[in-house]
Amino acid sequence: MAFTEDLDLFLSTDEMAVPAVSGAITGNVILDMPSETVAGGIVITTEYMATAKTSDFGGLLYGDPITVNGINYQVRDVMLIDDGSFCQLVLSKLAPPATAPGGQPREFGLQDLADVSLTDPQQGDMLISDGTDFVNTPTVDGGGA
């Protein structure tokens, strides 16, 4: 006899789940935001991931918009977990006034980074921490700030 489980119990807002909306799709997800130090300890980054029922959000594609707990994100990848009942959405957090274009993710640029402020960004610039903030440094050819 097959065992049938109620997947909604895993995504109860009474526990740790939060509401999510993508177009006409609504449901609860578990949002994870692990931080990681990269680039030789120079940059600390946050990887946004949401665990959801595949039947709710498994059909999302790269670039699709999703709002999780009132914050706008853009889908980077959708990966099935275990038997495929749940999926993990890899997300990019959008700047507060930005909204995801839902099909044209390349319309976003450096100005859409939620936690970085740049002046006169040029291709090839690097972000370096000055101890308080990240600042862009000029490229070898003289571009940048």
- CATH number of the domain within which 1 lies: 2.40.10
Residues 65 and 12 in one domain: yes
C-alpha distances in Å from residue 100, one per residue of 22, 33, 106, 124? 10, 19, 10, 25
Each residue's pLDDT tens digit, 45-65? 778 899 999 999 999 999 999
- Please indicate, yes or no, whether residues 19 and 67 belong to a single structural domain of this protein: yes
Band of the pLDDT at 87, cuts 50, 70, 90?
very high
My answer on whether 3 and 43 are in the same domain is: yes
pLDDT at position 80 over 90: yes
Nearest in space to 108 (alpha carbons), one of 126, 127, 94, 123? 94
Least confidently predicted of 94-98, 105-109, 137-141 = 105-109
The fraction of the chain above a pLDDT of 90, given in percent, is 28
- For residues 114 and 65, membership in a common domain is answered with no
Does residue 50 fall inside a structural domain?
Answer: yes
Same-domain check for residues 3 and 58? yes
- Of residues 106 and 81, more confidently modeled: 81
Average pLDDT score over residue span 96-102: 54
- Domain membership of residue 103 (yes or no) is no
- What six digits make up the tokens of 35? 């931080």
| pLDDT value for 47 | 83
Give residue 38's pLDDT band: very low, low, confident or very high (50, 70, 90).
low
Q: pTM for the whole thing?
A: 0.58
DSSP string of 28-58?
Answer: EEEEE--EEEETTTTEEEE-EEEEEEHHHHT
Which residue range forms the structural domain that includes residue 67? 1-94
- Inside any domain, residue 11: yes
Q: What is the mean pLDDT of the chain?
A: 74
12 and 62 housed in the same domain: yes
Residues 40 and 8 in one domain: yes
pLDDT for the residue numbered 62 = 92
| Total count of domains within the chain | 2
E strands, 24-133, are 25-32, 35-38, 43-46, 48-53, 65-68, 71-81, 86-93, 126-129
Do 4 and 71 have their domain in common? Answer: yes
116 and 77 housed in the same domain: no
Between 107 and 93, the more confident residue is: 93
Confidence label for 136 from pLDDT (cuts 50, 70 and 90): low
